[in-house]
Chains A and B, each alone.
Chain A
Amino acid sequence: MDYFIELLFSGLSRGAIYALIALGYTMVYGIIGLINFAHGEIYMIGAFTSFIIATILTILGFPGLAIILLAGLAAVIWSASYGYTIEKVAYKPLRHAPRLSALISAIGMSMFLQNYVLLAQTSDFLPFPQLVPDFDFMEPIAHIVGSSDMVILVTTTVVMICLTILIKYTKIGKAMRATSQDRTMAMLVGINVNRIISITFIIGSSLAAIGGMLVASHIGQINFYIGFIAGIKAFTAAVLGGIGSIPGAVLGSVVLGLTESFATGYVSSDYEDVFAFSLLVLILIFKPSGLLGKADTQKV
C-alpha cells in the first residue's frame, strides 16, 4: 500500500509538471487553433531566466522567499515578452495563411530558440539552485512527496483554478471564449481580437516560465534542450485531455503522469513510454477529441 501511495504521488507530481506546460499549449490552440511548438522553448527560457536571476540574488544575499518571488517574476516577464514577440513575428503574419504554414513557422521558431540559447548560453548542463527549501513539517512524508513536489502540486492546482475563473467569469475570459468560437464574429461585435490573442500568449508563456523555474529547481539541472522533451510530453498530455480544454490539459497531464509512474512501478521503466503512448492511441481511437475535448462539428 505504501508503495502504491509513493507511486501515486510520483505520478501526480509528474502530471503537475506536465500540466503547467500543457496549459499553455491548450490555451493557444483553443484561441487560434495553432499548436505552438515553441512553447517548450518558452519554458526553457523561463528556466534560464530564473536561473540567472536566482544566481545573482543568491550572491547578493537575498533571503530564500525573495529569491523565488523575484526570480519567478523576472522569468514570467521575460518569457511573456518572448511569447508576445513570437506571436507578433512568427504567427500573426500567417494568420490567414493555411494552417500548415503557421505550424512550420512554430517548428522553425522552436529550433531557432533552442539554438539561440545554445549559442548565447552554453551546451553544458548547469546546476540549478534548490529554490524550495526542505520544509521541516514535510519531513515525515518526505520519502513520499518532497517539498518541491508539494509546491508544484499546489501551484498547478491554484493556477488551474485561477485560469478557470478568469475564463468563465471575467470580461477578458468572455472575449477569449468569443474569439475561440468565431474570430470574425468576435471582431464584428467589437472585440479586439489581436489583443486577446496577445494576452493568451502572455498568460500561456507566464505559466510556462513558472513551470520552468519550479521544475528546474525540482530536478536541479537545466540545459538548452529541456524544453523540447518536456514540451513533447506536455503536448501529448494536452491532446490526451482534449486540446483546447483547460481542465482537459490538467486531467490529461495527470493521467499521463500516473500511467508512466505505475508503468515504471509495476511493470518496468523500459516500457514507460510504451504505456504512455499506447494509452494516447487508445483514447484517441475511442474518443478522438480527447478526454474532455468537445467534438468538433464542421459547418457544411
Chain B
Amino acid sequence: MKLNLSKKLIAATAGLMLIAAAPVAGFAEDTIKLGVVGPHSGDLASYGLPSVNAAKILAEQINAAGGINGKKIELLVEDTVCDAKTATDVATKLISDGAQIVLGGICSGSTKAALPIYKDSGILVMSPSATNPALTQSGDYDNFFRTIAPDDAQAQLDVDFALDKLGYTKIAVVHDKGDYGKGFAEFAKKFLEESGKAEVVLFEGVTPGAVDYSAIVQKIKKSGAEAVMFGGYHPEASKIVTMMKKKRLKADFISDDGVKDNTFIKVAGKFAESAYASGPTDTSSNPLNKAAVAAHKAEYNADPGAFYENAYSAVLAMANAVKVAGSTDLDALKKALQSEKVDTPVGTISFDERGDAIGVGFSVYQVQDGVFVELK
C-alpha cells in the first residue's frame, strides 16, 4: 500500500511537472527514449517480463551497433500491474520523463485506459499482446499498433477458409457457452452474415461436460449444415466430432485455437481425422526467431516466456520506423510502419491502416493421419 501511494504521488508530481518539462524536451534529443510498460510484478508478471527482456536485449544490440541514426536507445521500464488506474499514472509519468515511443500495454484493459493519454501527446504505442479487437478496429487510437493478431482474427480466418477455400453456403455455429468459445462463435456468426455468401443455419451453445451430444448433432443434421464451426475447447470438440461420425453426419468440423491441441487428436482418435482448427502460425523454424531465442538464452540462461517474440518484433518494427522516419514524429512513424516491411521473429510484417500487423497471425490446420498439418 505504501508503495502504491508513493507511486501515485510520483505520478501526480510528475503530472504537475509536465507543464514545466514540456518546453525542455526539445533539447535533450540525444537518445531515443523507449517506454516499456506492462505487468512486471503480481499475478500477470510472467506476461510482462519477457517483453522487458526483449527490449533490453535489442536495445543493447542496437546501441552496440551505434544506435538508430546515431542515437542510443534509452529504456524507461514501468510496471502497470495490468491495472487501468496504474497504467494511466504510468503513462503520465512516462510522458513527463520524455518517452518518445512505447512498447506495451500487455493486457488489453489497461492498455485501452492509457492509450488516450499517449495519443494526446502524439506517442506511438505498440503492444506485443493486447488482443482486444476494438483497440485497432474502433479507429479511436491511431497511435496504437500491435504485433499480435486480434481475437477476432481467428474467426475471420476460419470464415474465409470455409467460404473461399471450401465453398460452403450453409454453416452451423456451435459454442460451449464460455467466454472464449462464445466470443469466437459470435465473431464467426457476424462475419458469416456480413459476407453474404453463406447462411448461418444454426447458432447454439452446448453444455460442457454433458454425457451425450447426440441431440444437438441430430439438430445440426436437420439444419442441413455442410460444416460445423465450433467455438470452445477440445474435450467438447472431441465428443462432438465423435458423435457426428457415429450419427453418420457428413459435415466438416472447423474450430479454433482451443481445439488445436494434440489432446484433441489423442482423444477423438480416428474421428478427429480431417477436422480443421486454426492456431497461431508456427514461426519456430524462422531463423530470426531462433536467433532471438538464442539471445535470450545467452543473456538469461532460460527459455523466453509469453509474447517474447512479439515484443522482440515490436521493438524491431519500431526501431526500423524511427530509422526510416528520421524522427519520432507520430505521423512519420505511422507512414513508415505502414509502408516498410520488416523481417522479425514472427515473420515479415508491415501494418495496416488500423494498426494490426499484416503477416502475423493464425493458420488453418487440418488433422491428417493423426497430426495437425498447416494448410498453406
Contacts and interface: CB of A to CB of B under 8 A. Distances in A.
A225 interface: yes
A17 B242 CA distance: 17
Given A13-B212, A215-B211, A143 B177 contact: no
Nearest to A139: B248
Contact of B269 (A17, A220, A229): A220
A157 B44 CA distance: 54
Interface residues of B, number: 32
Contacts of B215: 7, 10-11, 14, 260-262, 264-265, 269, 272
Interface residues of A, number: 40
Contact of B209 (A18, A127, A229, A264): A229
Contacts, number: 95
Contact of B247 (A17, A125, A143): A143
Interface string B200-236: 0000111101111011101101100000000000110
A125 B211 contact: no
A10 B214 contact: yes
B269 A127 contact: yes
Contacts of B246: 142, 146, 148
B285 to A, nearest CB: 28
Interface stretch (B3-11, B260-268, B305-313): B260-268
B211 A233 contact: yes
B40 interface: no
A71 interface: no
Contacts of A135: none
B251 to A, nearest CB: 13
B239 A268 contact: no
Contacts of A18: 211
A265 B215 CA distance: 6
Contacts of A230: 211
B184 interface: no
Given A125-B234, A219-B239, A273-B207, A265 B212 contact: no
B238 interface: yes
Contacts of B267: 125-127, 220-221
B218 A10 contact: yes
B362 interface: no
A17 B243 CA distance: 15
Contacts of A262: 215
A219 B269 contact: no
B183 to A, nearest CB: 15
Interface of B: 177, 204-207, 209-212, 214-216, 218-219, 221-222, 234-235, 238-239, 242-243, 246-249, 263, 266-269, 271
7 contacts: A13-B212, A14-B214, A215-B211, A220-B242, A220-B267, A229-B209, A269-B207
